[in-house]
Structure 1
């Protein structure tokens, strides 16, 4: 079946299923993305009747595939405005103090370019007039880059939920806007794969935004991508990731700003993160039990001393060790036992949810994220939660909110 012969009933049903699952407005659902999925199914020999039958079940594999196809390209101007505010108020002044003579940014996985242009506008507005600025946007899909280069966008790219922080565009009719020429001049786009080194001709960067992209990667692919991203940073440069994409500080970097910001600075030559030592704990290790106190009288009766179970954070560390060793099955078993034993231990809920998400079991991750959000909401936002890294309760609430608001199957 060719693209021209696509059954309108099939595309209409696909759109209805996606809208029901995500709650998106109709104009937020990419018809092109839906058609790509349908054509791929046809290329595997399936018929329109087969697909319509499967779409009678909103929890079907096909429905999940359609939702993910729509979500991958989700972007708009000044999304996660806290990142742009941090760049303007903290990142740019720090770069100038380091003596930078120009500032360069990279929007990695830029989709249709809204993020790249937002970064360019942020840098220009935060610097003296005429200070050299360059921004690169890369994406795997050339069709998205073609949209970015046109620099004309509709109303969905400028959500009310994301304020217009810096001068970026001019109105171009009732529904469209066009990127300002001064912003467009410093922004370029190129095709790129996050799992391949960026060509050397693109140089290094002071700011990299790679947000809500790595959540779709396997753990190995995610770690490889972060390593490649960090190699393109100038010393002192900042990497911004999505709220639930990493739960630990990447190697060679330190956290900047509040934990929920997910901003990481590349250490300079000779600079040390000075991490606190992390004990290696064997699975099943038990805290030492004090010996019974001897009595001066005749033989004391035998006392049975109950072993104190290890603290949740120690069990969590043992799971992290298994993950580092590639034993995700064992880590999952440890974390499942931990969550059953300590259901209010927020780091364990988040770790297990992320592990399930990375293994493709998103339907199992959602209840954990809901539980995480519910429990985090009961705590004062700034209360530090014990774990491998002491983080405030608001970090866990923000992580759960970000995950559950990404159109996850709920």
Structure 2
């Protein structure tokens, strides 16, 4: 069937997919949805029948459409810096807190490579026999079935991701199988990041949710992060992808270098030290130090031209508007900032992410390219002034991660 599809049907299909997945409109692959709809029509169903099913709160067709647009790119020890940090910093910190067992969650685990990698990392970083549990969840049941089989091909092993910890045995030239000791501590369940995780799964010390939220709308992303943080033990760590958030989530503090995108849940009663972690909006509202009054002039003097505001002060104004929901106003402020201070890296990143969140990816890409080019000119560890002082390597890593993202189709 190659004719035009009913636009009402496609519009409703897109609405249903967005509600289930949280994806932005431009992250929903139209071709994938159309393939599902055409397959149903080929089986003899009418457009009216399909539209009627999609008007129901829950339906098999809705689930099939949502699965069709999911992105399943994953492999063993992807972003190895996260696993190194867990092993070298996260596990020792949890043991100092008196943890009697360590639990991890791979949220949006696709076919399971990340969950098994986390399990192997924890087991190798702890004394023999120390209790470890890892949960992997995904929206797509067929992906979880692959994960439970625990047999993988060469696509799951990438040269860019070293084999950091004992994880699998070779079954031949092309296949590997997860070690029984790793399989025993890893379980899988179907779950949606936009719904609370059932209480029976408990709380976690480490959560990996990486390269998933980049496709979400801002509201869906914030909702998902809130739900994830609620399942952390106090002091637990949440790891996100490089360009998925541009500020510290509420109730958390940054851990490790900023490009790690690792955040620790504050313990009850723990406060954030007044440092670069202070919320940008709070600093923007901080009272200025009173200035000593100038002595009276003996004769009228020409008023000196006021210096232009510092880039970071303009940036804080934009952040305030974002928090107030005025993204149009924030965009105008950031565009003026980038014109006035084209080498101000935080402004380039903020404007690029704001355009990405609004669905204007074609406008975000050139900004990210400019950001990468200008960050590369600086020493990697040189701190760049902004609402939060971050090294130049953070901006280069953020631009690289964004520009190297795979296609959505």
Task: Please tell me the TM-score bracket, short chain as reference.
Answer: 0.7 to 0.9
Structure 1 gap segments, 5+ residues each? 3-32, 47-68
Of 15, 35, 41, which residue of structure 2 is paired with 1:39? Answer: 35
Q: Cα 1:35–1:113, aligned 2, differ >3 Å: closer, same or farther?
A: farther
Hey, what does 1:391 align to over in structure 2? 390
| Residues 1:72 and 2:71 are matched in the alignment | yes
CA contact (8 A) 1:289 1:308 kept: no
Paired residue for 2:123? 124
Aligned length: 352
**CA–CA distance in 2 between the matches of 1:346 and 1:45?**
51
Q: 2:262, 2:198 → 1: CA distance? A: 24
Deviation at 1:173, TM superposition (A): 2.0
Aligned equivalents of 2:214, 2:30: Cα separation in 1: 21
**Cα shift readout 1:345-377 (whole Å, capped 9, x = no counterpart):** 101111111111111111111101000001111
Matched residues in 1 for 2:267 and 2:283: separation?
27
Report deviation, 1:402: 0.7
> How much has 1:290 moved relative to structure 2?
10
Aligned residue for 1:372, secondary structure, equals: helix
For 1:74 and 1:257, the matched residues in 2 are separated by: 26
| Cα distance, 1:348–1:35 mapped onto 2, change above 3 Å | closer
Aligned residue for 2:404?
405
Structure 1 partner of 2:229:
230
Q: Look up the match of 1:265.
A: 264
> 1:218 Cα shift?
1.1
CA drift of 1:36 comes to 3.7
TM-score, normalisation: structure 2: 0.80
The equivalent residue for 1:279 is: 283
> Shift of the alpha carbon at 1:171?
0.9
For residue 91 of structure 1, what is the aligned residue in structure 2?
A: 90
Q: Against the structure 1 CA distance between its residues 43 and 307, is the aligned structure 2 distance closer, same or farther, given a 3 Å change threshold?
A: farther
Task: Check the 8 A contact 1:356/1:364 in 2, yes or no.
Answer: yes
Per-residue Cα deviation, 1:277-318 (whole angstroms, up to 9, x for no partner): 633369xxx99999987654xx44x52432222111111111
Number of the residue aligned with 2:375: 376
Secondary structure of 2:283's aligned partner: coil
- Alpha-carbon contact 1:216-1:358 (below 8 Å) kept: no
SS of the equivalent of 1:279 reads helix
Once residues 370 and 292 of structure 2 are traced to their aligned partners in structure 1, the CA distance between those partners, rounded to angstroms, is 36
Instruction: Show the 5 A alignment for 1:13-162.
Output: 36-40=32-36, 42=38, 72-162=71-161
Are the counterparts in 2 of residues 235 and 268 from structure 1 also a CA contact under 8 Å?
yes
Distance in 2 between residues matched to 1:37 and 1:172, nearest whole Å: 37
Cα pair 1:349 1:372 within 8 Å, conserved = yes
Cα distance in 2 for residues equivalent to 1:83 and 1:250:
18
Name stretches of at least 5 consecutive residues in structure 2 with no aligned partner: 3-28, 43-67
Distance 1:216 1:74 in 2: 13
SS for the counterpart of 2:173 is coil
Corresponding residue for residue 24 of structure 1: none
Partner of 1:227, secondary structure, is helix
Deviations 1:135-159 (A, max 9, x none): 0001111111111111111101000
Counterpart check, 1:196 vs 2:195:
yes
Residue 375 and residue 91 in structure 1: after superposition, are their counterparts in 2 closer, same or farther (change >3 A)?
Answer: same
- Residue pair 1:71, 1:407 contacting (<8 A) in 2 also: no
1:331/1:34 Cα in 2 relative to 1: closer, same or farther (>3 Å)? closer
Deviations 1:187-238 (A, max 9, x none): 1111111111100000000000000111111111111111111110001111
Q: Using the TM superposition, give the Cα deviation of residue 275 of structure 1 relative to its aligned residue in structure 2, in angstroms.
A: 3.6
Output the CA distance in 1 between the equivalents of 2:143 and 2:361: 26
- Distance in 2 (CA, whole Å) between partners of 1:41 and 1:385 is 50
